[in-house]
Structure 1
């Protein structure tokens, strides 16, 4: 049995998607709070931080989700699921930091980048070794 039962990979994926959805709802609330009407994406700098957190998370998710699945199903399931949980935590750190002050986003951004790099490069190397 895999870590977190037989559905750890699915649970981590759904947690990442839930997190992204919550960030989207936060953008909606920030629109109201800061008076930024759709379709505008600029105006109040505080609103822009909420918007950037949401968009930057989407940019990370497009790499994360397929890389998570490939890594977990080919390289190491347990390590993949653990990296997936760390990704969700890294995005919380990123959002919290960025929303308090843009300069504070670095730890979460660096962790996100490192996790995605491990997933992508680890998968590529593993597959290359298997093919060769």
Structure 2
């Protein structure tokens, strides 16, 4: 069973949900009425942080699960938690200023790259070893 990876997955989804709540709050705070997504730079940064999180989920989640299946639940979950922390740093950094989004982005991107590269590496290795 992959209990730790499942927990990391649920926390990643919670981060996305949290970023959605921040967008809703930013709409009210900055007076940006739906369906508008522009007009106030402070709102736009919060919105882009949410959308960027959504854009990374289809890269991160399959990589996380393939890593768990082919390498191990605990290591996958630990890398998943690194992604979660990176995303939280990214969302809060970007909300403050576009220049402050870098560290969180780097952390989550590195976690995703390790998950993806580890997964493809082991899968190819096992195919070659047949």
- TM-score, with structure 1 as normaliser: 0.93
Q: Is the 8 A contact 1:60 1:112 kept in 2?
A: no
Correspondence for 2:37: 41
CA shift, 1:73, in A, is: 1.1
Q: Is the 8 A contact 1:57 1:91 kept in 2?
A: yes
Cα distance in 1 for residues equivalent to 2:76 and 2:3: 12
Cα distance in 2 for residues equivalent to 1:117 and 1:19: 19
Deviations 1:105-127 (A, max 9, x none): 10111111111111111100110
- TM-score, with structure 2 as normaliser: 0.94
Alignment RMSD? 1.2
Aligned residues: 128
Q: 1:65 aligns with which of 61, 64, 75?
A: 61
CA shift, 1:76, in A, is: 2.3
Runs of 4+ off more than 3 Å:
none
Stretches of structure 2 that go unaligned for 5 or more consecutive residues are: none
CA shift, 1:97, in A, is: 1.1
**2:82 paired with 1:86:** yes
Cα distance in 2 for residues equivalent to 1:112 and 1:89: 8
Correspondence for 1:105: 101
Correspondence for 1:76: 72
Q: 2:124 aligns with which of 110, 122, 128?
A: 128
Correspondence for 1:25: 21
Cα distance in 1 for residues equivalent to 2:20 and 2:64: 22
Correspondence for 2:11: 15
Cα distance in 1 for residues equivalent to 2:106 and 2:5: 23
